[in-house]
Structure 1
Amino acid sequence: MAVEPLSPQEIEDRLAELPGWTADGNRLARTYRLPSHVAAAALVMHVAAVQDELNHHSDLTLGYDTVALTVSTHSVGGRLTALDFELARRVESLAPAHGAG
């Protein structure tokens, strides 16, 4: 099945379901604050496993107690697709277990 870019309205509707996430140009973005560096690193490893499962990878930045993600779909010119939102939804569901806020 081909991946298609989302319309501006579809992006807005899906963002409403993901508090804390923003559409920064043609990328989804979110930064999490965690209780420690180890917790942040553990979240990065968990996100990496989900990305491999989905075969869809974000840019991840690990700070001392932060993790920042940005994602878009390269195969459609770096635009946003349902796959980007699926990754964001999956990350959002696992982040609280790591103490992310």
Structure 2
Amino acid sequence: MTLLTNEILTEALAHVPGWVYEDNAIRKEFVFKSFPDAISTVNKIAVVAEEMNHHPEWTNVYNKLIIRLYTHDSLGVTTKDIRLAHAIEVILKENG
């Protein structure tokens, strides 16, 4: 999988609000009303990530979820990461 150029990455991030590029990955922090809401979302994302065979790096503390995406075998951001970020945004939009 080919790493995205800076130009393509900048354009792609414009379509996934709140995602930022740092340390060869894209990252976003989410805050939920409660711990169960955060975990429910994690479980929904896990199903999609498994279907895509692309697994996020994430941290959950109480109602906060931090997701970091990068393509492990490419050591940076590829289209796989942008597609998963889009899918995550759809999940969040569907769940309010």
Measure how far apart 1:98 and its partner are: 3.6
User: In structure 1, what is the Cα distance between the partners aligned to 2:94 and 2:33?
Assistant: 11
1:81 aligned residue (57, 78, 89): 78
Shift of 1:67: 1.0
Structure 1 SS opposite 2:73 = helix
Equivalent pairs counted in the alignment come to 96
Question: Could you tell me how far apart the structure 2 residues matched to 1:5 and 1:25 are?
Answer: 14
2:88 is aligned to: 91
For the 8 Å contact 1:61–1:67, the answer to whether it is kept is: yes
Q: Would the aligned equivalents of 1:15 and 1:21 in 2 still touch at CA under 8 Å?
A: yes
Offset at residue 48 of structure 1 (A) = 0.8
Structure 2's unaligned 5+ residue stretches are: none
Gaps of 5+ in 1: none
Match in the other structure for 2:50: 52
Identity of counterpart residues, as a percentage? Answer: 27
Corresponding letter in the other structure for 2:92 = A
Q: For the aligned residues, what is the CA RMSD?
A: 1.0
Report the AA paired with residue 93 of structure 2.
Answer: P
How do 1:1-101 and structure 2 match up within 5 A? 3-76=1-74, 78-99=75-96
